[in-house]
Amino acid sequence: MDDGWNALIERRTALLDEWSAKQREIAMLQAEASTLLARRWELWQEEVAAAPQHRDAIERSMMAEYSAAGHVSQGSMTFAFTDAHLLATEFGAVRESFAAGRITPGHVREILREAAPVREAIETGVVEAGTLMLYEAAALETAENDTATRTRAQARRLAAALAGSTVVEQHERAATERTITVRSIGDGLVLLQAVLPEHLGLAIVDRLTKMARHMLKHPEDRRPEFGPSEPEEVGLDPETLLPVGDGMPDADPTEGAIFGSHTFTADPFDLPPDPRFHDDSPCIIHVPDDARTMDQLRADLFTDLLLASTPTEAHGTGLESIRATIQVTVAATTLAGEDDRPAELDGVGPLLPEVARSLAGQRTGWTRLFLDPSGMVVETDTYTPTEQMRRFLRARDQYCRFPGCRTPIHRCQTDHNEDWALGGKTHIDNLAHFCGRHHPIKHPDIPDSHRWYARQLPDRSVEWISPNGRRYRDRPSRRVMFVPSVDHPDPPGSSHDADQDPTERPPF
């Protein structure tokens, strides 16, 4: 048995190693392809310098040729050329990591695009030129150890910390572009698009998802189709409400009836057996299962809410109490109006300070978070220990702690990493949020050949151990890396900040 198990593990490990090596090779080849695009960009600049009056035609011709040769859309080729040029001229550390196969094109794309506020702040003189190197180094720390999606969220936080005023200005400009558009996509369908502030869009999807899940779990909130409503239509005598016809020969029509004052009704528990009273009888009303998918439910609820303000009666009143959930973190100084640093829409990115203040004004409860100089949440000031632990965990985790997973914490379960039944303690160092997809894979009922294990390390990273014995680490997301300014560009934790208290950021 042991020999067979060891052989299986060796085969699994060999295939995983081979796949990982190929992924690195692919990344390295894509880095080489990016270098070729950068060289072609330089040649394009030479061609434009020789004939500036034909600049647009030269560019269109180049994009068209590469698009045709690579079977790639021209829009994608435009992005690819832009990224290749930036990578070659401004992001040396990212280029080196990409060439070594440590990051993928997805990581490169997110780092370069989220750097826009930092580059703009440098161009306008808001921050020093070296700020881009700080951004690049910090973003790579995440990119080389996590997914491109998580890299995007962390890169946004970094850009907000390094060039906060520029981020706020960009968001203010973007907010003026909110709009609703509709276009036909055929077969009687249209594409309805809404360009909205990010926190509103996320809240809308969250509420629709909660409502759809409620409908799937509560069929009683759906009004059934009752079909025929007249007694004659369902084979009942209109006077006695008892079955008539061949099924009830020589029966006393009043037998089994309950009499009252000037009225009577049939006792359903005293009716004689009748073949018409069975599961398929029209007298028995069944609420059918909802066959719609989650996407279809969200679309139907979206339509109901927009056209009728509230869900239709068919969806029941249980949905009326469902509200959207987002989590926001804002500095106390920003909340008090002492500065306009961007707040943070947890797990997503920066949020306009006036939006955070508005949301804060609608809340009656507060939790202060004390951050150490590295930006790690270390304490909350609530009074009840259990609630303190929950709030601390929500602030620390932000999303499922399986490597690369982005499921927000309000859709996750709090897990004892070391099983409670086996002596695991209810302590923040033994608790983490896992989503419905990753929580079950460590359940004791799963055979050891497919079961995962999770444990927390001293730095609060969650280490997952696969059935093959491989270890994968998910590090806690930092809330703020550093907050430089023109007059004081040094990050927290430097000699200038040694005697300062940790930053306070209260979420709501």
pLDDT in tens, the chain (508 residues): 578 888 888 999 999 999 999 999 999 999 999 999 999 999 999 999 998 988 888 888 888 889 888 988 888 899 999 999 999 999 999 999 999 999 999 999 999 999 998 998 899 888 898 999 999 999 999 999 999 988 998 898 888 888 877 777 777 777 778 888 888 887 778 888 888 888 788 888 888 888 888 878 776 555 555 555 555 555 666 655 555 554 444 555 555 444 444 444 445 445 455 554 455 555 555 556 677 888 888 888 887 777 666 555 444 445 555 666 667 777 778 877 888 888 877 767 788 888 888 777 766 555 555 555 655 554 554 433 466 678 778 888 888 999 888 888 888 888 888 877 777 777 888 889 999 889 988 888 888 888 889 999 988 899 999 888 888 889 887 654 444 444 444 443 333 333 333 333 333 3
| Res 274: pLDDT | 53
Please give the model's pTM, rounded to 2 decimal places: 0.59
| Res 360: pLDDT | 74
Q: In degrees to the nearest 10, what's the CA dihedral of 20, 22, 27, 32? A: 150
Main-chain dihedrals φ then ψ at residue 93, nearest 5 degrees: -65, -40
**Tokens representing 68?**
């045709």
Residue 51: left (phi > 0), alpha (psi -120 to 50), or beta?
A: beta
| Res 494: pLDDT | 37
On whether the CB atoms of residues 138 and 158 are closer than 8 A, the answer is: yes
| Res 446: pLDDT | 81
Distance from the Cα of residue 269 to its chain's centroid: 52
Rounded Cα distance, 206 and 216, in Å: 16
Token pair 């009752």: residue = 226
Main-chain dihedrals φ then ψ at residue 288, nearest 5 degrees: -70, 155
Secondary structure E strands in 196-308: 257-259, 264-266
On whether the CB atoms of residues 433 and 413 are closer than 8 A, the answer is: yes
Q: Which of 427, 428, 397 is nearest to 410 (CA)?
A: 397
Q: Is the dihedral of CA 175, 180, 184, 190 positive or negative?
A: positive
Secondary structure E strands in 383-506: 412-416, 431-435, 453-456, 462-465, 471-474
**Tokens representing 100?**
């070594």
If one counts every other C-beta atom within 10 angstroms of the C-beta of residue 224, the result is 12
Q: In degrees to the nearest 10, what's the CA dihedral of 62, 84, 88, 350? A: 140
On whether the CB atoms of residues 148 and 110 are closer than 8 A, the answer is: yes
| Res 382: pLDDT | 41
CB contact set of 422 (below 8 Å; sequence gap of 6+): none
**Tokens representing 156?**
């946004």
